[in-house]
Amino acid sequence: MSFLLGVVIFVVAVLISVILHEAGHFITAKKFGMKATQFFIGFGPTIWSTQRGETEYGVKAFPFGAFVRITGMTTLDEVDPADEPRSMRNKPAWQRAIVMVAGSFMHFALAFVLLLFLALGIGQVTESTTTALGSISTCVPVSLKLFDEGSCAGSKGGSPAQLAGLKPGDKIIAIAGKPVRNWTQLGTAIRAQPAGQPMAMTVLRNGKRLILHASPAIVKGRHGSYLGIGAAVVFQRYSPVGAVTFAGSAFGQVLVGSADAFAKLPAALPDLFAGLGCHRPTVCKTRADTPAGDVSSVYGAADIAGQAVASGGGWEYSVSDLLLIVISLNIFIGAFNLLPLLPLDGGHLAVIIYERIRAWLARLFGRPDPGLVDLQKLVPVSVMVFGLLIGLGVLLMAADIFNPVHLVQ
Residues 112 and 253 in one domain: yes
Kindly name the residue from 22, 84, 127, 316 that is annotated as catalytic: 22
Tell me, yes or no, whether 35 lies in a domain: no
Q: Do residues 122 and 316 touch, judged by C-beta distance below 8 A?
A: yes
188, 210, 235 - which closes a domain: 235
Give the C-alpha distances (Å, rounded to integers) separating 62 from 19, 36, 41, 352, 394: 14, 22, 9, 32, 19
Residues 375 and 396 in one domain: yes
Q: Is the pLDDT of residue 23 over 90?
A: yes
Residues 311 and 404 in one domain: yes
Q: Is the pLDDT of residue 233 over 50?
A: yes
Give residue 220's pLDDT: 87
Give residue 50's pLDDT: 97
Mean pLDDT of 298-310: 87
187, 219, 235 - which closes a domain: 235
Higher confidence at residue 6 or residue 2? 6
Domain that includes residue 221, residue range: 133-235
Mind listing the pLDDT tens digit for each residue in 125-147? Answer: 776 788 999 889 989 988 888 88
Residues 164 and 274 in one domain: no
SS (HEC) of 315-346: HHHHHHHHHHHHHHHHHHHHHHCCCCCCCCHH
**Whether 22 is catalytic:** yes
Beta strands in 206-325 (DSSP E): 208-214, 229-231, 233-236
For residue 6, report the phi and psi dihedrals to the nearest 5 degrees: -60, -40
Give residue 152's pLDDT: 83
For residue 208, report the phi and psi dihedrals to the nearest 5 degrees: -110, 145
For residue 38, report the phi and psi dihedrals to the nearest 5 degrees: -145, 145
Tell me, yes or no, whether 8 lies in a domain: no
Percent residues over pLDDT 90 in the chain: 66
Residues 307 and 396 in one domain: yes
Tell me, yes or no, whether 34 lies in a domain: no
User: Predicted confidence band at 292 (pLDDT cuts at 50, 70, 90)?
Assistant: confident
189, 207, 235 - which closes a domain: 235
Residues 138 and 118 in one domain: no
For the chain, give the mean pLDDT. Answer: 90
Question: Could you tell me the CATH number of the domain that includes residue 178?
Answer: 2.30.42.10
What are the beta bridge partners of residue 202? Answer: 174, 211
Q: Is the pLDDT of residue 340 over 80?
A: yes
pTM value is 0.81
How many structural domains compose the chain? 2
Tell me, yes or no, whether 45 lies in a domain: no
Residues 138 and 244 in one domain: no
Residues 113 and 261 in one domain: yes
Q: Is the pLDDT of residue 409 over 60?
A: no
Residues 229 and 287 in one domain: no
Give the C-alpha distances (Å, rounded to integers) separating 246 from 7, 23, 253, 259, 309: 27, 27, 10, 20, 24
Residue type, 85: P
Residues 198 and 347 in one domain: no
Tell me, yes or no, whether 352 lies in a domain: yes
Give the C-alpha distances (Å, rounded to integers) separating 209 from 173, 198, 335: 9, 19, 55
Q: Residue 21 is inside which H or E element, if any?
A: helix 2-31
